Amino acid sequence: MTTKKTAPGSLIVQTLETAWRDVQTRNSDVPDVIFITGKGADGDSVTWVHFHANQWITERGQIHELFISGEALNRDPVETMTTLLHEAAHGLGHERGIRNTSRRGKYHNRRFVQLAGELGLAWPEGQAPDTTRGFSSVVMKSEAVTEYASTIEALRDGRAAWRELGIEPAVELKPKSKNTKPRASCGCPGRFIWTARRTLDEAPVICGECEAEFQLAP
């Protein structure tokens, strides 16, 4: 009997859910989430990942949403694990009522760094915060990488599909003109009109600038 393979999309979500449960076993305040994956690129910007509080309704109540883009999956599994811990810190902040971001969620403050520190992340020593993102770029502590080694390896094995950046969108071609009338020019450089041949035969059409007749182009 042949074994039916798990679909790539299902395998990705299962892998992320398993990694999230591993985080929860180490910090019981990390809330449950529903994982959503999809396209993150939109023009010149990319949404890598985002924690959305209270987005889904279940029989047990509301559950948060954690979106991870296909582009974010195209990275080293340590970076993926860092991303999960980063979002878990936002989840901690929400559950505890700690405001850890401002400017519509873009700027990460020092309270975020404290929450992230509980989960094995740290702000690089001596690095200045970004003017837009603040203290967002936390990294995994070396001991956390060791602690989550098996989960990181599982993320590597479970990366069944991903998206790449740099794929140019299809260029929208301008529709061709349906104008079939001939083009006539006067004495002004680059000045034209499109008109019926019969119109020019019936009477001269004079340019108001150079006062020359419009003539059909050869």
d(CA 77, CA 40): 18
Give 59: exposed, middle or buried? Use CB within 10 Å, 0-12, 13-18, 19+: exposed
**φ/ψ (deg, to 5) at 73:** -75, -15
Instruction: For residue range 6-25, list pLDDT tens digits in order.
Output: 788 899 999 999 999 999 99
DSSP E strand boundaries for the chain: 33-38, 41-42, 45-46, 49-58, 61-69, 101-102, 107-108, 121-122, 139-140, 183-185, 192-194, 215-216
DSSP per-residue string spanning 15-77: HHHHHHHHHHHH-TTSPPEEEEEE--EETTEE--EEEEEEEEEETTEEEEEEEEETTTTSS-H
Residues linked to residue 35 through DSSP beta bridges, in sequence order:
66
pLDDT tens digits for 95-138? 999 999 999 899 999 999 999 999 999 999 999 999 999 999 99
- What is the pTM for the complete model shown? 0.72
Over its length of 218 residues, how does the chain's per-residue pLDDT go in tens digits? 445 677 888 999 999 999 999 999 999 999 999 999 999 988 878 889 999 999 999 998 999 999 999 999 999 999 999 999 999 999 999 999 999 999 989 999 999 999 999 999 999 999 999 999 999 999 999 999 999 999 999 999 998 888 887 654 444 444 555 556 777 777 766 666 777 777 767 777 777 666 677 677 65
**For residues 67 and 87, what is the distance between their CA atoms, to the nearest angstrom?**
10
